[in-house]
Amino acid sequence: MSEELTATPPTTLRRKRAYYGPAKIGLWGPPILLLAFLVGLVYVIHFALGTRGFLLPLPDVVASKLVDPATAPDIFEALLNTAVVALVGLLIAIALGVIWAIGMIQAKWIERTTFPYAVILQSIPILAVVPLIGFWFGYDFFARVVVCILIALFPMVSNTLFGLQSVDRGHRELFKLQGASRWTILTKLELRAATPAIFAGMRISAGLSVVGAIVGDFFFQRGTPGIGALIAKYGARLNSAELFASILVASLFGVVIFLLFGWLGRRAVGKWYDFG
């Protein structure tokens, strides 16, 4: 009996094996090997280009720009400005997306009326809309936030709506039999069941908001410069090492935001849902 009580469930054993021992090496080994291969390939291509090697700077030269007192402060200050725009736009997109999806689940006519426009919004090339946003909202902080919202909104709407609609019909009928109000069904059943989908939407929208902030910076050269404006400046001046360093920092920031919301999702629902 004591052995049965203290035995570790098979699921727990599988999870422990996945995070400890050789399995962990198998998880991180291939990406590290691929990175090493790509870095080596860059060196080969750089020296093969000869006099045109400046088009593809060496990785160590790019990395040195991130600690060079002449370039590092500009890069990280621009990254901070972009991060503020991306996070503000993301938070607004999350709020609007969840509220919009809740409205659609509460009334079918709202879904039939507004969801096609959400699809159209997602289908519009953002590069074609950015000049209009500049005309309407100026070229500073607010315009950049609007670009982030337009890019990051649809995944929040679609994922939240999917999560709310995926509630088991039997559970919904049970709530109705107990005389539960719409508000009770929404807060006690639908939103809780939709939590994994909501966090999945957040993770997608987080990466897209960074893209939106960089696109806004790239086109709106006025006001507080972000990493996109810095990329445009380095590209115009053919400063390839600084250009690659800026792109690298922007990419790593997007990865960090993506991983952050993945971690938040696991913290929120990982105990009862296998949130990847």
Which pLDDT belongs to residue 23? 57
Confidence of residue 273 (pLDDT cuts 50, 70, 90): low
Summarised one tens digit per residue, pLDDT across range 39-81 is 888 778 878 777 776 777 888 888 888 888 888 888 888 889 8
Specify whether the CB–CB gap between 230 and 219 falls below 8 A: no
Q: Mapping DSSP to helix (H, G, I), strand (E, B) and coil, where does residue 133 land? A: helix
Whole-number pLDDT of residue 19: 47
pLDDT band at 14 (very low <50, low <70, confident <90, very high): very low
User: Helix, strand or coil for residue 272?
Assistant: coil
* CB proximity list for 43: less than 8 A, separation 6 or greater: 58, 59
Could you tell me the two tokens for 276? 């990847």
Integer Cα distance of 59 and 62 in angstroms = 5
The per-residue pLDDT for 266 is 80
Q: Report the C-alpha gap between 185 and 194 in whole angstroms.
A: 12
